[in-house]
A and B are shown apart, each in its own frame.
Chain A
Amino acid sequence: MTVSMPIWRPRPSGLRCEPQRFVSAVAQGERRLAHARSERWVSLLATVCGLLLVAAAAEIVIDAAAGPSPVVPKSPQLAGWLGGLGERLGYRGFLIALLISVAAYAGLAALVRRFHDEAISKRWAIVLVAALQLIVFVGPIMLSTDVFSYVAYARMGVEHGLNPYTHGPVAIVHDPIYRYVGHDWDRVATAYGPLYTLLSYPLALLGVVGALWGMKLEALLASAGTLALTWRCARARGFDPVAAILVVGANPLYVIYGLGGAHNDLIMMLAMMAAVSLTITGTSSSRREAGAAALVVAGALTKATVAVLLPFMIVSKRRLAPIVGTVAALVVGALIGYAAFGVHGIDIVAALNRDAAFVSTDSFANEIAHLLGKPGVFPVDHDLLKGALVLILVHLLWRTWRGYDWIAASGWALLAIAVTSTWLLAWYILWPLPLAVVTRDRRLLAATLIVQGLFIAHQISPLLVPVQ
């Protein structure tokens, strides 16, 4: 009988002539033991990475609440109750905590990539991401004065009857929010879409502190929504949703810079992921495709950048529905924008052109100019960069026409916009991240994380100077 007959075979170690039945039992036992051991190790390492992320975020928030800091813009008291717990946050301390976060995030990302859901449970991932978001939510505004501009534009419309598309915050110089608006922006009219401006108007009624908490809450809810939709999209596409939300929700730039500054990019990303979710979950239908296109337009009426998704969606679907959705949403949005703010409220292109002329020290264009021995970016460089971006977009459209995933193409387009922009800020390189975790082209995620890593590396020069 074959079943009871011992089968002999050489083994690399152990006894040479064991029956296979016996060998298999032992090997399986060993495998199970090794698997259990590795699972324990993965669990332990993931826990250590998670704790480091939480500790670094808590350290930054508690110290930021302790008093004046180069990381915290001048702001009304928002997190006074945390004030006595930490020490004043210096830039070096912030950078060290940020680097610890980055190392822990990289470790966590490597673990989820290598071991998937073997030792990192769904509940653990959700608790970690929620903890990170809540820690930053309760703290002060960090690393940007943008949120004060949002509140200033809202107060201009609601409290002072001024059109934020024709006046800068300097028009309300006696308003209590004015002293917190970034100096570079006090004469600049809003560059955000009319939908976002109208969304921010009710918050102006809550007073300055109330409006700031309202903005923080908006950012938190938008982040939670983005993460929930990322989970949904990842699952619909057959990816590990735990890995997807960890890569997005535990990302130090997303948490510390994006949520820490209560940026409206998170609202734009929510609309973007809602549109993506409509197209890849459930059964495909014209209504869903039209709805997805309308959601992208809604996102663009918050922050125009997300409009770059539309051509890829339309080229990919090759149906009338996304075009109808786009046109219908544009007409409704334009009517509302025109009724509320006049022609300036719908002239988003002018605002984009104005902002595209700015240069930030962290932009790759500026770094390459320095590499080439130039003091900075010149007007001709802006034209070259725009030309390069157009070429990239045309190539991506051609690839999408040939069957490439439109979501990946959209992610590449958003990444290309950030990399070719002369005005690069940390939260701009978050845009492609949720798309990158729900596409099969793994190059997009790698490229996004590398660009983020280079951005963070560029921040660390203060650490290279001896402490005075």
Chain B
Amino acid sequence: MNVWRIETTLLVLVGVLLAIATVNDLARQASTNHRLVADLSTWRHYTEHDYHNISIDQETLGTNNQREVLCGNTSAGAPGSNTQICLAIWGPTVNGRRTVHGGWYLPPYVEDLPTERYGCFGTPVRRLCTR
């Protein structure tokens, strides 16, 4: 085999690897986006507020486990300017929504820290609240 052929073979292999990695990542992103769209829909359905400024946290309930916390205002206003309701959501998507397993409230203009949470509901998330 001459150098040209070896190079071309390696290039094709690298190209195939990059293509597989790209398609895999695209599918992963699409799946995440589907899940987050379902989460937003769940928050709006649960709170009966059609708000669009809702924050999504993918770390509080652990990373890479498809469990999210979504926080948004309980009444109209700028993001975080009123009391916020946070919902812990996970599970399969059914009819465009997922299951709310619990949640808590936050005072206006505060970050979602355990010390700020109050009015916790739902057994699975009670350990995340300190008051």
Contact present for A454 and B3 (CB under 8 Å): no
Q: Which residues of the other chain, A, contact B26 by a CB distance below 8 angstroms?
A: 457-458, 460-461, 464
- A residues sitting closer than 8 Å to B (CB atoms) are 364, 366-368, 370-371, 375, 399, 419, 443, 447, 450-451, 454, 457-458, 460-462, 464-466, 468
Measured in the bound complex, the distance between the Cα atoms of B19 and A443 in whole Å is: 17
Q: Which residues of the other chain, A, contact B28 by a CB distance below 8 angstroms?
A: 370
Contact present for A367 and B21 (CB under 8 Å): yes
User: In residues 1-43 of chain B, which contact A (Cβ within 8 Å)?
Assistant: 3, 7-8, 11, 14-15, 17-26, 28-30, 33-34, 37, 40-41
Contact present for A447 and B21 (CB under 8 Å): no
Q: Which residues of the other chain, A, contact B23 by a CB distance below 8 angstroms?
A: 457
A443-B11, A451-B18, A465-B37 given; 17 more Cβ-contact pairs under 8 Å: A366-B25, A367-B21, A367-B24, A370-B25, A370-B28, A371-B20, A443-B7, A447-B15, A454-B18, A454-B19, A457-B23, A458-B25, A461-B30, A461-B33, A464-B26, A466-B37, A468-B37
Cβ contacts A to B, 24 pairs, < 8 Å: A364-B21, A367-B21, A370-B28, A371-B21, A371-B25, A419-B18, A443-B8, A447-B11, A454-B18, A454-B19, A457-B22, A457-B23, A458-B25, A458-B26, A460-B26, A461-B29, A461-B30, A462-B33, A464-B26, A465-B30, A465-B34, A465-B37, A468-B37, A468-B40
Q: Which residues of the other chain, A, contact B30 by a CB distance below 8 angstroms?
A: 461, 464-465
Which residue of chain A has its CB nearest to the CB of B52?
Answer: A468
* Closest-CB distance, A353 to chain B (whole angstroms): 25
Which residue of chain A has its CB nearest to the CB of B15?
Answer: A450
Q: Which residues of the other chain, B, contact A461 by a CB distance below 8 angstroms?
A: 26, 29-30, 33
With contacts defined as CB atoms under 8 Å apart, how many contacts are there between chain A and chain B in the complex?
A: 58
Instruction: Determine whether B95 belongs to the interface, using a CB cutoff of 8 Å to chain A.
Output: no
Measured in the bound complex, the distance between the Cα atoms of B22 and A460 in whole Å is: 11
Measured in the bound complex, the distance between the Cα atoms of B14 and A364 in whole Å is: 11
Instruction: Determine whether B123 belongs to the interface, using a CB cutoff of 8 Å to chain A.
Output: no
Contact present for A371 and B24 (CB under 8 Å): yes
* Closest-CB distance, A370 to chain B (whole angstroms): 5
Measured in the bound complex, the distance between the Cα atoms of B23 and A443 in whole Å is: 22
Measured in the bound complex, the distance between the Cα atoms of B25 and A457 in whole Å is: 10
* Closest-CB distance, B39 to chain A (whole angstroms): 12
* Closest-CB distance, B30 to chain A (whole angstroms): 4
Contact of A375 among B11, B29, B40, B64 (CB under 8 A): B64
Q: Which residues of the other chain, A, contact B14 by a CB distance below 8 angstroms?
A: 419
Which residue of chain B has its CB nearest to the CB of A366?
Answer: B25
Contact present for B21 and A375 (CB under 8 Å): no
* Closest-CB distance, A258 to chain B (whole angstroms): 21
* Closest-CB distance, B56 to chain A (whole angstroms): 14
Which residue of chain A has its CB nearest to the CB of B24?
Answer: A371
Q: What 7 A-B pairs are tightest by C-beta distance, nearest first?
A: A461-B29, A367-B21, A464-B30, A465-B33, A367-B25, A371-B21, A454-B22
* Closest-CB distance, A460 to chain B (whole angstroms): 7
Measured in the bound complex, the distance between the Cα atoms of B25 and A464 in whole Å is: 13
* Closest-CB distance, B42 to chain A (whole angstroms): 13
Measured in the bound complex, the distance between the Cα atoms of B21 and A457 in whole Å is: 11
Q: Which residues of the other chain, B, contact A462 by a CB distance below 8 angstroms?
A: 33
Q: Which residues of the other chain, A, contact B15 by a CB distance below 8 angstroms?
A: 447, 450
